Amino acid sequence: HPPLVFVRDRGSANGTSVNGRIIGKGVTLSPSKLLEEGDIITVGTHPHLRLQYAESTNIRSSYTLSRLQRQEVKLFEDRYIVSSRTIGNGGYSLVFLASEVDTRKHVACKVHDISRFSPTAKEVNRIRQEATLLSTLDH
């Protein structure tokens, strides 16, 4: 996965923008904004900065959720926004960068893709146990 690069405005008078959209301005520290390769950052009236990774990566960092997964994400869209940016993966799952709607705090959303295998009852139970355990984490 390519590195995660964030930018935030630290209360500047002229503001900071990414791709022409203001992400922060004024006296408060803005929430962090995840940058993608090619993003244009403007700090006040200074020249633009363009994010470009030194080494191009062939690893895909963005995935499209299946129709069923998109429907499931809608069940909690009032609390979380799930991006298409992946930050990890496993045998049957992907971990997506997400954010809380109210706080804009970054969180992880692990999505299991059980359509890729025929799970045994034991595997389904293991996935349920992991989901229960992960739902209790607060860090």
Task: Break the chain into its structural domains and give their ranges.
Answer: 5-50, 67-135
DSSP of 1-60? -PPPEEE--BS-SS-EEETTEEEE-SSSBPPPEEE-TT-EEEETTSPPEE---SS---S-
CA dihedral 97, 74, 22, 3 (to 10 degrees): 10
Q: Is pLDDT at 119 greater than 80 in this prediction? A: no
The pLDDT tens digits of the residues spanning 82-111 come to 988 888 887 778 889 898 999 888 888 988
Return the closest-CA partner of residue 125 out of 114, 136, 111. Answer: 114
Q: What confidence score (pLDDT) does residue 137 get?
A: 79
Q: What confidence score (pLDDT) does residue 124 get?
A: 79
Task: Give the CA diameter of the chain.
Answer: 60
CATH assignment of 67-135?
3.30.200.20
- pTM score above 0.85: no
Contact 30, 8 (CB under 8 A): yes
